[in-house]
Amino acid sequence: MPSEKVLEQKKAAVVALTEQIKASCSGVIVDYKGISVAEDTALRKELREAGVKYSVVKNSILGFAAKEAELEGLDEVLNGTTAIATCEDDYTAAPRILGKFADGHKNFKLKGGFMDGKVIDLETVEALAKLPTRDVLLATVLGAFNAPIAAFARAVQAIVDKDGEAAPAEAEA
């Protein structure tokens, strides 16, 4: 039987992880075994720079936190070594970074995740991992909106230039 002090620490860990999950727009659960300390350090640095919180957790603590956060269906991925990555404002940051890392490391595996308080399957996490960054997506959309306007502006400028060339010829006559 765990001591009262250990039990209180575990309860506090569950409460903290529950709040982290509730505050996040998305999260990814991974099996992190088989990576070196240097690789783990580089991964954590990249995640931190993207605003992603990453931590190794016990499956039981994550299970209790998921239940408190009303995430149903995570129990099936809570086995083996487990880490969780969450982000409060970017839906694709954690899946993208961890997916890219998993592609280069055969033992590091994505297990599942959640988005907007709902559990998502591995296929959805992998699809999110393939999306470009938010800034790239916004630039693409803005480029698509800007193209017709730019074409219209060029057409109007061509008409103005054509009329400008015709005016001096008429003045001479």
User: DSSP characters for 25-94?
Assistant: SEEEEEE-TT--HHHHHHHHHHHHHTTEEEEE--HHHHHHHHHHTT-TT-GGG--SS-EEEEESS-TTHH
Amino acid present at 80: G
pLDDT value at residue 143:
78
The CA dihedral of 8, 51, 38, 114, to the nearest 10 degrees, is: 70
- Mean pLDDT score of the chain: 86
pLDDT value at residue 94:
92
> How many Å apart are CA 171 and CA 167, to the nearest integer?
6
- Residue 36, pLDDT above cutoff 80: yes
159-163 average pLDDT score: 81
- Residue 133, pLDDT above cutoff 80: no
- pLDDT band, very low/low/confident/very high, at 170 (cuts 50, 70, 90): low
**Helices and strands (DSSP H and E) totals, the chain:** 6, 5
- pLDDT band, very low/low/confident/very high, at 138 (cuts 50, 70, 90): confident
- Residue 28, pLDDT above cutoff 60: yes
pLDDT digits (tens, 9 = 90+) for 75-127: 888 999 999 999 998 888 999 999 999 998 888 999 999 999 899 988 988 88
- pLDDT band, very low/low/confident/very high, at 17 (cuts 50, 70, 90): very high
Q: Which residue has the higher pLDDT, 155 or 82?
A: 82
The structure's pTM equals 0.74
